[in-house]
Chains A and B, each alone.
Chain A
Amino acid sequence: MNVAPRDSTPDVRPPVARLEGVALTYGKIRALDGITLDLPSGCMVGLIGPDGVGKSSLLALVAGARAIQSGHIEVLDGDMAEVRHRQAACPRIAYMPQGLGKNLYPTLSVFENVDFFGRLFGHARHERERRIAELLARTGLSPFADRPAAKLSGGMKQKLGLCCALIHDPDLLILDEPTTGVDPLSRRQFWELIDSIRASREGMSVVVATAYMEEAARFDWLVAMDAGRVLATGTPQDLLAKTGAPNLDAAFIALLPEEMRQGHREVIIPPRDPADDGEIAIEAEHLTMRFGTFTAVDDVSFRIERGEIFGFLGSNGCGKTTTMKMLTGLLPATSGIARLFGREVDPKDIEVRRRVGYMSQAFSLYTELTVAQNLDLHARLFAMKPEAIPARIEEMAKRFDLTEVMDALPDSLPLGIRQRLSLAVAMIHSPDILILDEPTSGVDPVARDAFWQILSDLSRKDKVTIFVSTHFMNEAELCDRISLMHAGKVLISDTPAAIVAKRSAHTLEQAFVAYLEDAIGEAKEKEKAPPETLSASEPKPIPRKTSASRGLRHLFDFRRMFAYTKRESLELQRDPIRGALATIGSVILMFVIGYGINMDVENLTFAVLDRDDTTVSRDYTLQIAGSRYFTEKAPITDYADLDRRMRNGEISLAIEIPPGFGRDTARGDPVEIGAWIDGAMPTRAENVRGYVQGMHATWLAQKSREIYGDAATIGDFQLALRYRYNPDIQSLVAMVPAVIPLLLLMIPAMLSVLSVVREKELGSIINFYVTPVTRLEFLIGKQIPYIALGMFNFFLLAGFAVFAFRVPFTGSFLTLASAALIYVAVTTAFGLLLSTFMKSQIAAIFGTALLTLIPAVQYCGIIDPVSSLQGAGALIGQIYPTTYFVTIARGTFSKALEFRDLAGSFVPLLISGPILIGLGASLLKKQAT
């Protein structure tokens, strides 16, 4: 915990970052308001202040992750507004954004995550492996190298994040609330790690934002911020001296402007009224939860009395959240019983839920609803009387100080206010029990005190039972009783004072750490894990970076590109369902569609209104009924019958033979046969018309010969139909070469469109902002695995088409395969282009479906030839790449064509790929705006 005193006074060296008049707004909200500040180099600089005062924005600007709106920022002796300087500087800066493991990839293993960053900074393989081994050893992550990042505890995630940040030996390390939401033991280890790294990397500057004042007290130099402005700067001692406060918490509050300080007082929770004792509000008996072989909660028992504040402490992933979920009935326990007010918790019992208010760890209110709308929705869901709701909402707004933000969206509010909103929502229906999962994680001291004041009032005045989990020791001290939990087990359960006394420790934190170390020590002996897993090993000097990593080419570097390729393909591998859907699913579809679509219409229904009823008229009817195309239905009786049966779709064709048809034909008098076709579905009507005309002509020729004899052969001629390329007119043969292009459009596009939007929605896009990777490297790197999958898919489809479905392949396969390669590159590029301007995954999915399926099916020559389209559709058909690949696929499959016959169709394909990727790159932003 000790920070070695530094000889280097911050003032001697030039500052690592200079800010001048920096301002930043998000819509109407002002995040930074004219900041002018020099951050000293070579030391630990801390940014302190409540949530939403602009700490994160400031760090993002310094790291180059966010575009500068106004003002001037110099970092590492260069202007951050200049692209060239950012490119030069970003290999020297490391940035760890706020949020546990936000820039990590959850499905990738520990090693793979670090390896990805190593590649981004262009280290060669040996170099990378050496550095990774060293970093993992120092952070104690070596035994977990193969574990996916998603399965790490919060503390481990942050250590991994640090490894990723340090892989390229940065000169400036920027950490945004690295220890928020991390338990005290892991927090302590984290800072020890930072200290040892600083000891071995002389001259590295570290800038940290933190909500923990006791951490800030150990930093070299502090910046106190409030409302987008700097309140004060100086060493911790300076700040204490300036305000005359005993600790930094107090000093910070003293620095606040008058109106902010108002209403703040130290939280003192009055002792519980002994008369209350007795009624048990929450009871757990041998609660156990197993997920597969993993025991998340192991035989946990406790009883909480009505009106008690019960604290739950423990490292991340120790089972706190799971226990809480079992108490609320969200998760059914594997064994054991949970009771609320003596009633067993039953997930199906809706009534119990009315008595419980639950606040989950992650902010889980609707970000698309305003504060007032959120409160209103929940009040109604808890079936409060509509007339009572407005008053209750107002009361809550007052109590939780939300009156001024009632019309704001939660996303625009600082974390502290959002947490108050969550609590207000949990309280709206006046529950008897409140279950709060880390309600103050990431909330600043002032807001936290206010929050606990509310809890105190609820417990003591309203007799609400509160079950709360926290990482803050000063909060734990406020609880009536606390439980320490580790690895699914409760280590100790008692009043805070008793726990401190039992370990004869000075503070609760020491006692807590001592209990944890005992528990871990036992576990380790059992597992015989190497000792360096938990404590940082001896500092070893990390060698200065080699020139290779700095001498990277700026424009395009294959190693950086392959970093994204590797990452993307690992993610694909970890999700075998996706690969299976893409490949097997498409083979099934090819068959179903190829088999199903058939233009050779058969079994058309028809009926005859025969007003003649002679052998001649019956002969005419037989001519139609005897063909394979038509099926005869019961004769039509009259016009009304005809109308009715056509209207309900029973018959597609009605023939009316006039009276005297036989007689007139024999005499050679003009006769007119009427035919009605159902035109509702034009394609079908078209076929009917063609068939009927053909049959009529044949019948006429026959009849003529009967009547006129040989004279009729004068002028007789034959029209020989030759169906080329598909002599048997099989639909599979005609459709398969058209379905393959469809599938190779839709599936690769859908795969690639989400790859960028997903990073945006889940936050890891930040890695693209702050590393030297260029836009083209990013896009093409991501594209390569999908091209590979697309080509695999192509070979599978072509193979099945030829060998399983027996579609004859007559042309040059090499031509088809190379066209497929270009085509898949184009379709994945199309997906990437879409993903550069879509913000949500929903919009991306809908947009891709809309913009691939409809144009490809309708305008690309699959059903109707492009040449016969008109208007905008014809234009789309001419520029849409599928058109050309359909021509190539049909040419090589059915028409025995070679490359030279199809060269013309390659040109548009070759052109469109670079255009799409280029457009994508130009629309993609290298910084957040």
Chain B
Amino acid sequence: MIMHRSNIFQLGIKELRGLLRDPMLLVLIVYAFTISIYTASRAMPETLNQAPIAIVDEDRSPVSTRIVSAFYPPYFLAPALISQHEMDVRMDSGVDTFALDIPPNFQRDLLAGRSPTIQLNIDATRMTQAFSGGGYVQSIVSSEVSEFLSRHRTNTVLPVELTLRSRFNQEMNKGWFGSVTNVIMAITMLSIVLTGAALIREREHGTIEHLLVMPVTPTEIMISKIWSMGIVVLLASAFSLFVIVEGLLSVPVEGSIALFLVGAALHLFATTSMGIFLATVAGTMPQFGLLLMLVLLPLQLLSGGVTPRESMPEIIQFIMLAAPNTHFVILAQTILFRGAGLDVVWPQFVALLTIGSILFAFSLRRFRKFLR
């Protein structure tokens, strides 16, 4: 089939003009790529942040006092000193994530070598803090106890130090990565809505039928929607990266934003095709809205942007390989934070291109049927 580049261009221009006539939508786009990203990034706790902890000090000895005073912001909220009875109530109502119970005569037993036990209660329903915070509490208590002991005994601890350094994000600032994850989410959400919902609207208003009596092929209609909406989202994300992420949030970007934007373009190819596909499946706007939610939620939560992919069951990891977001998140991490080049991220580029092409071919077939 011969494709007319001019048709594709003209139809795309038409899409862009249409977008300009919906001010509310423009406001939402601006919001999604600026305020929403800024707020989300600033809200994210830097590593373990202000974890609520309570301490039941049944010993009230120098060592227990020492432990109590070792928890302070920003990692922990100032610990609440409570009774054992209060502990259950507070954990039940979700006030504390951690409750440390120092038993009576802890210091005495410690010095006598009776190996006493401190109990650390962790609210396991708060999984983010539960694991990383647990480790912190453990090491804080240990170091306080050993410093206390250093005055009371000959050296029986090996002087082996573990020096931990975090690369690519020294402070493990979640906001850095969070801001990029949010840009990715905004890109995905907007590109699917713009192409998909716009297609349904055209059909509800009968304009799509009008196009079909003209010498325009479905392929041309589809490509025109993809490039025009793709450009809008790409520009918005470039703006967001340069001005909001690098500028306002001063996230140090190690790699090349240009390369990232090439990746974003490939991602957009896949998501805009997905938008058209969903529109052809849904048929009506209310159905499209629901489908969108059902698709966006896993894309947001399971692509590796919110929780690490390694932690997901293998089957989920495998299924999510079919989602463009998964590859895009990996690509973004690798390029933007680890400063890697094309030699490293090419598998993601290939994956995005493949997913995009399959979705494109598939939705083109459905689109042709949809027009009938």
Contact = CB atoms under 8 A, between A and B. Distances in A.
A853 B117 contact: no
Nearest to B92: A895
Contacts of A551: none
Interface string A870-883: 11111011000000
A536 to B, nearest CB: 33
A628 interface: no
Contacts of B212: 330
Contacts of A578: 286-287, 290
B258 interface: no
B117 A720 contact: yes
A447 interface: no
A353 B139 contact: no
Contact of A586 (B174, B294, B311): B294
B121 A849 contact: no
A676 interface: yes
A922 interface: no
Contacts of A683: 128, 174, 306-308
Interface stretch (A11-19, A822-830, A837-845): A837-845
A719 B118 contact: yes
A670 interface: yes
Given A715-B146, A726-B124, A842-B197, A676 B165 contact: yes
B364 to A, nearest CB: 14
B145 interface: yes
Given A711-B154, A847-B28, A841 B201 contact: yes
A712 B156 contact: yes
Nearest to B91: A724
B110 A679 contact: no
Interface in B313-370: 313, 316, 320, 330, 333-334, 337-340, 344
Contacts of B235: none
B17 A373 contact: yes
A238 interface: no
A669 B310 contact: no
Nearest to B129: A865
Given A597-B307, A846-B193, A870 B43 contact: yes
Nearest to B291: A581
B205 interface: yes
Given A595-B313, A597-B301, A700-B160, A723 B111 contact: no
B14 A648 contact: no
B246 to A, nearest CB: 16
Contacts of A330: 209, 212-213
A754 B289 contact: yes
A807 to B, nearest CB: 11
Contacts of A720: 117-120
A681 B303 CA distance: 13
Given A668-B155, A679-B169, A746 B293 contact: yes
Given A381-B214, A849-B296, A600 B311 contact: yes
Interface residues of B, number: 158
B289 A680 contact: no
Interface string B115-135: 111111111111111111011
B32 interface: yes
Given A364-B210, A724-B124, A858 B40 contact: yes
A853 B300 contact: yes
A670 B155 CA distance: 12
Contact of A649 (B45, B164, B306, B334): B334
Interface residues of A, number: 165
Dominant SS among interface residues on chain A: helix
Contact of A599 (B43, B131, B201): B131
Given A593-B298, A715-B153, A902-B93, A871 B124 contact: no
A246 interface: no
A715 B144 CA distance: 11
Nearest to B7: A381
B198 interface: yes
Nearest to A579: B290
Residue of A332, A678, A844, A846 ringed by the most chain B CB atoms within 10 A: A846
Contacts of A842: 22, 25, 193-194, 197-198, 201
Contacts of A460: none
Nearest to A840: B22
Contacts of A675: 162-165
Contact of A364 (B50, B116, B205): B205
Contact of A876 (B39, B128, B285, B288): B39
A828 to B, nearest CB: 14
A868 B45 contact: yes
Given A599-B130, A869-B45, A366 B300 contact: no
Contact of B338 (A585, A649, A689, A839): A649
A648 B344 contact: yes
A274 interface: no
Contact of A671 (B124, B159, B287): B159
A377 B131 CA distance: 60
A678 B21 CA distance: 46
A678 B306 contact: no
A785 interface: no
Nearest to B51: A868
B302 interface: yes
**Chain B contact residues: over half helix, strand or loop, or mixed?**
helix
A672 B165 CA distance: 13
Given A678-B167, A689-B132, A368 B39 contact: no
A383 B3 CA distance: 12
A381 B10 CA distance: 7
Contacts of B159: 668-671
Kindly name the residue among B45, B124, B145, B174 whose own CB sees the greatest number of chain A CB atoms within 10 A: B124
Nearest to B150: A715
Interface string B177-212: 110001001100110011001101100111101111
A691 B110 CA distance: 25
Interface in A373-403: 373, 377-378, 380-383
A867 B50 contact: yes
A604 interface: yes
B298 A850 contact: no
B77 interface: yes
B31 interface: yes
Interface stretch (A129-137, A254-262, A727-735, A767-775): A727-735
Given A381-B7, A854-B36, A680 B177 contact: yes
Interface stretch (A158-166, A282-290, A517-525, A701-709): A701-709
Contact of B193 (A697, A704, A845): A845
B28 A366 contact: no
A793 to B, nearest CB: 11
Contacts of B28: 843, 846-847, 850
B24 A717 contact: no
B155 to A, nearest CB: 7
A506 interface: no
A680 B338 contact: yes
Contacts of B209: 330, 360, 364
A848 interface: yes
A841 B297 CA distance: 20
A913 to B, nearest CB: 21
A714 B111 contact: yes
A672 B117 contact: no
Contacts of B40: 854, 858, 873
Interface in A733-761: 733-735, 737-738, 742-743, 746-747, 750-751, 753-754, 758, 761
B94 interface: yes
15 contacts: A596-B313, A596-B320, A597-B127, A598-B312, A677-B164, A692-B162, A693-B139, A707-B158, A712-B156, A715-B110, A723-B130, A725-B125, A845-B288, A849-B296, A850-B189
Given A382-B214, A719-B138, A722-B119, 7 more contacts: A596-B320, A676-B167, A758-B286, A840-B201, A845-B197, A848-B289, A849-B296
9 A-B pairs with the lowest CB-CB distances in the bound complex, closest first: A873-B43, A690-B135, A599-B127, A679-B169, A679-B166, A726-B124, A368-B18, A364-B210, A680-B337
